[in-house]
A = this chain, B = another copy of it.
Amino acid sequence: MKNHRIAVIPGDGIGGEVMPEGLRVLEAAAGKFNIEIEFTHFDWSCSDYYLKHGQMLPADWFETLKPFDAIYFGAVGWPEVVPDHISLWGSLLKFRREFDQYVNLRPVRLMPGVPCPLAGRKPGDIDFYVVRENTEGEYSKIGGMMFEGTERELVLQESVFTRTGVDRILRFAFELAKNRPKRHLTAATKSNGIAISMPYWDERVALMGGEFPEVSWDKYHIDILTARFVLTPDLFDVVVASNLFGDILSDLGPACAGTIGIAPSANLNPDRLFPSLFEPVHGSAPDIAGRNIANPIAMVWSGAMMLDFLGNGDPRYRAAHDAIISAIEAILVDGPRTPDMGGRATTVEVGAAIAAAV
């Protein structure tokens, strides 16, 4: 039996509160399904490591983390003390790039027991994945300023789309669509306005589509696509998007499903050359940190995605994943609930209840 080594980075704010609950549920599931996991903790955060060392990570972070099978990540960011661009480019975005976690995978699902902000939608109506490119595109530090301090001041900002980067995310998304109920893929674009990169993206989508005759596909400009998320979310199955567009759609999708506070995400290196990273979509939420009221479900759900990825098709891991999802669903319907879901339970109570249900 394989012993999985997991790097645990709770990070900032509520990260430190939801992480123990994520681990509690993972241990329950691992125990039940006979999966061996070993956790190693790292205190890399703004509030701890950065304050002591003036940087987000030690110099040898790459060699330290590389041997791990996965990174279980809470949240990063403490904007009052460390500007976001420093904390994020100094940790989360670094992991994504340097461990080549080129897929950001986020399920969008209307869950039982969760009030949906869209009128007349019920569980089953919304069930799709956003597949986001996670290493290049619009997220870039290339560019600069000219005529600084004068009326002519201007800033250039580069987006970078490589054939390698575009094709591998498209391939991943088409492969995923092949195994989904509707076998349908939607590509986000904006080729009518962003005149160089997006027509290129469209071309690669059309070429890749040709390799997957069993998958039907279409494309929407990002403006009308966000409208479609609100108006006809039932149409989607797999939505593939560039880094920025995927970022937008993977917040908007969970918002439409009422799950923005409980949505999980996986940052995957599908080739398994480097550890993948699993994290809640919510951030460090400094405003509610330290009060034991944060909802741990996103952390728990991210843990389920991690087990599934570690299993790499093994039905035992899939069963462990499904058991956690069922436990989440049971708690969403019957409680206990944290205040964000209208209840009065603590983070620990909800975590313990999910672990017990597993």
Contact = CB atoms under 8 A, between A and B. Distances in A.
A153 B265 CA distance: 30
A223 B192 CA distance: 21
A249 to B, nearest CB: 8
Main secondary structure of the interface of A (DSSP, over half): mixed
Contact of A118 (B117, B141, B196): B117
Interface in A133-149: 138-145
Interface in A3-54: none
Q: So how many copies of this chain end up in the complex?
A: 2
A265 to B, nearest CB: 12
A120 B90 CA distance: 42
A247 interface: yes
Nearest to A258: B231
Most chain B beta carbons < 10 A, residue from A118, A143, A152, A194:
A194
B139 A193 contact: yes
Contact of A156 (B163, B196, B254, B260): B196
Nearest to A164: B151
A200 interface: yes
A244 B193 contact: yes
A352 interface: no
